[in-house]
A = this chain, B = another copy of it.
């Protein structure tokens, strides 16, 4: 078998970005291009064939935290510039229904991130037993509010509420989560562009771009078909000319398919589901999972892990995002980016 190598070259950025929608506005930094190898996958490969415990030669840890920080810094500058020029502060409204601890934590993170870049955030926390009408009342009010440029309903909603009715009520021009069917339809259709791309998928692609991972012509496998990650990220990859397979709970022998992937996006919500043996040598792996698992060795009694077994993945893949510090910070950065884009669009500010 030909040796599998991870090569970093100093060649100029050669991606065609014509299909990249709503990309964040700053120029991409060049890390040198990651060349994905096209050697055939080896069925039945497992970690046992790699006796060393050292990482894959030239392995790259994809640092989402660092990239997100860089994006937030740029957004902060743009927010200031807009305020100085137009006397406008971008505004994000976040609606939280119920008392899920994880949702409350995400909302706090978003609020803090908004503050850090100068975006105004308005939070509405409604009780668990709120009616659809209660929620819709706020959405319709924010739709009309000129100081609000983005509206986000924290998901999941309590089960008695109809998620579709609520998400669809957000006017598409303020749908910074990108979940409105009209925006999803525009994302799915070739030749059209949505007002907003969902934040986590956009963050995944942004990381691939920032690490100069070739996408065109590559085999990409997405694990999970959720509306929030799997489905939109599959469209984004296909829009950039990857050949995409989506696998899910009904897929038989998923590891046979993941081993074909040059780019593997794991968004299944299953801790450590993707083992080293699932990964094609040299692949780039983006881990979207955020799973709390019990760990009595830490004071909190639990820790965060992804869908990918990182320690195994780093011995096989050429590049992997860690959890935490990978996709998570990028999701919030993309939300800020979408909110800024919306404010710029509404106020016709370049």
Q: Residues of A at under 8 Å CB distance from B?
A: 38, 163-164, 180-192, 216-217, 225-227, 231, 235, 238, 241, 243-248, 250-252, 257
Contacts and interface: CB of A to CB of B under 8 A. Distances in A.
Contacts of A252: 38, 217, 243
A158 to B, nearest CB: 16
Contacts of A251: 217, 243
Contacts of A191: 163-164, 227
> Residue among A185, A190, A235, A257 with the most chain B CB within 10 A?
A185
A257 B242 CA distance: 13
A41 to B, nearest CB: 10
B238 A243 contact: no
Contacts of A186: 181, 185
Q: How many copies of this chain does the complex contain?
A: 2
Contacts of A192: 164, 181
A227 B250 CA distance: 26
Given A244-B245, A248-B243, A188 B190 contact: no
Contact of A250 (B226, B231, B243): B243
A248 B257 contact: no
A188 B226 CA distance: 10
B241 A188 contact: no
Nearest to A232: B188
* 10 tightest A-B CB contacts, nearest first: A181-B185, A185-B185, A184-B185, A241-B250, A245-B245, A243-B251, A188-B188, A189-B227, A181-B186, A182-B182
> Residue among A188, A225, A231, A251 with the most chain B CB within 10 A?
A188
Contact of A246 (B184, B189, B238, B248): B238
Contact of A189 (B181, B216, B244, B247): B181
Contacts of A248: 238, 241, 243
Contacts of A246: 238, 243-244
A257 B243 contact: yes
Nearest to A235: B188
A14 to B, nearest CB: 15
A1 to B, nearest CB: 16
Nearest to A254: B243
Contacts of A235: 188
A180 B192 CA distance: 12
Contact of A182 (B185, B190, B227): B185
A279 B183 CA distance: 36
Contacts of A241: 248, 250
